[in-house]
């Protein structure tokens, strides 16, 4: 049995991240689907699958630490290892946010979670945030820095939708009452945080590729 | 100039964590104070000090990575380094939650954030969560596993308070309206998450000290 080289470990780290990314992106899609179409069973699945994502994070962390410990990589590969660590952390938090959305649906059982008035907004909100998740996972897989830069603009759109949810709830037309408003506020926050983490995830990748930030990239 | 030993680095990591812990605990105390006594200036300070906590986390992460890379520590010291990494991460998230509370106060400017009806509950809630923060920081500093176990019970009390906030808002006596309920729900969540992270922080320390979990400790 040959000893694993630094190159082997770096390849394995990337493979593990590539495997984790889509799990997280699907968790969000399913959570959003469960919310929009009142599917508590689907929500339960998201909740019960979250420990798998946590397990991936732990495995990546362990391998990253072993890699640093055994191979003492120099600057560039070390940056890749640190990036893997940070990306695993971001993915785990994104998974948690998908779980929070799903858990809100589960907790409400057969009661409808999302007020009728809030549905059109959340359909748009959920679709855009899910697309950001897919894009962030794509950045992770392909190291495409152009897509990474796009995520900044996507996030501005999402922030605007976030404000619209609050304007709706605080406006005179909100008739769904306090509990529905509280659920919508928490759900909106989970969406917004997930989108933020998509941006952070892509930022870590850009740092690994260029050693700089998205803002330092030359204009396209 | 002598080269730093593994022992030097481990000592330095602990010192850095010991310095970060109280910053985080004070951030929460100040955020809670700002919320309960309508002090937007104090809230602004919490928000503006958060990057200092983030900077501590970055510095700890860097030193932990360097330590692993240069010294290739064996199992026990390696566990300490990994624990330092994880604790730094927890502290950073706790700092963020204090910042979220403070930012809610800042965003409301001179408008009172917390509905009069919710104040008694939040006074209790804030005090208990702040005490958990102090205790978690104490666990970090002293490696006292008995205190770590106490945090589990503290967290149960806090979870009960969390439910009370929602019962109040969803009950017939809530007259403060939707915006106040939404703010209270988000604030309650930030309190609850901070308390969770106190428990996680202590868990990491227990793992470093015993290699096991709090649940595996012999009964006292």
| Longest CA span, chain A | 71
* Distance from the B137 Cα atom to the nearest Cα atom in chain A, whole angstroms: 22
pLDDT score for A77: 84
Quick check: A114 pLDDT over 70? yes
pLDDT score for A220: 38
Q: Give domain limits for chain B.
A: 6-216
pLDDT score for A219: 45
What average pLDDT does the segment B17-38 reach? 97
Out of A61, A70, A182, closest to residue B182 by CB: A182
B111 touching A (Cβ < 8 Å):
no
Structure ipTM: 0.85
Quick check: A207 pLDDT over 90? no
B68 touching A (Cβ < 8 Å):
yes
CA pair distance B154, B146, nearest whole angstrom = 13
Out of B68, B179, B185, closest to residue A186 by CB: B185
B185 touching A (Cβ < 8 Å):
yes
**What's the helix, strand, coil split of chain A in %, to 5?**
85, 0, 15
More confident residue, A127 or B217: A127
Out of B65, B70, B169, closest to residue A82 by CB: B65
CA pair distance A96, B77, nearest whole angstrom = 30
Chain B hits for A182, CB-CB cut-off 8 Å, are 166, 169-170, 181-182, 185
Q: What is the dihedral of CA A106, A111, A113, A115, to 10 degrees?
A: 170
Number of H-type helices and E-type strands within chain B? 6, 0
**Chain A residue with Cα closest to B81:** A65
Of B134-138, B143-147, B204-208, least confident by mean pLDDT is B204-208
Out of B170, B181, B186, closest to residue A189 by CB: B186
pLDDT band at B220; cut points 50, 70, 90: very low
Q: In percent, how much of chain B has pLDDT > 70?
A: 95
Of A120-129, A169-178, B65-74, B169-178, least confident by mean pLDDT is B65-74
Say if the Cβ atoms of B169 and A186 lie within 8 Å: no
> May I ask the CATH class of domain B6-216?
mainly alpha
B73 touching A (Cβ < 8 Å):
yes
**Chain B residue with Cα closest to A90:** B89
Answer yes or no: are the C-beta atoms of A143 and A209 closer than 8 Å: yes
């Amino acid at each position: 049995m040959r000893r694993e080289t630094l190159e082997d470990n770096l390849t394995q780290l990337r493979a593990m991240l590539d495997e984790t990314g889509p799990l997280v992106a699907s968790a969000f899609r399913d959570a959003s689907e469960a919310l929009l179409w009142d599917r508590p069973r689907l929500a339960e699945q998201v909740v019960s699958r979250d420990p798998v994502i946590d397990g991936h994070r732990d495995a990546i962390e362990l391998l990253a630490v072993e890699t640093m410990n055994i191979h003492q990589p120099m600057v560039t590969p070390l940056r890749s290892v640190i990036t893997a660590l940070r990306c695993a952390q971001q993915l785990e938090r994104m998974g948690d946010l998908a779980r929070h959305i799903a858990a809100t649906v589960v907790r409400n059982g057969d009661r409808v979670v999302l007020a009728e008035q809030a549905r059109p907004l959340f359909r748009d909100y959920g679709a855009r945030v899910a697309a950001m998740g897919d894009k962030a996972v794509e950045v992770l897989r392909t190291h495409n820095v152009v897509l990474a830069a796009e995520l900044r603009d996507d996030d501005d759109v999402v922030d605007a939708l976030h404000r619209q949810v609050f304007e709706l709830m605080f406006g005179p037309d909100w008739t769904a009452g306090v509990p529905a408003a509280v659920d919508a506020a928490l759900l909106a926050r989970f969406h917004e945080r997930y989108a933020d983490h998509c941006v952070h995830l892509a930022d870590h990748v850009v740092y690994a590729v260029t050693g700089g930030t998205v803002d330092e990239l030359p204009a396209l």
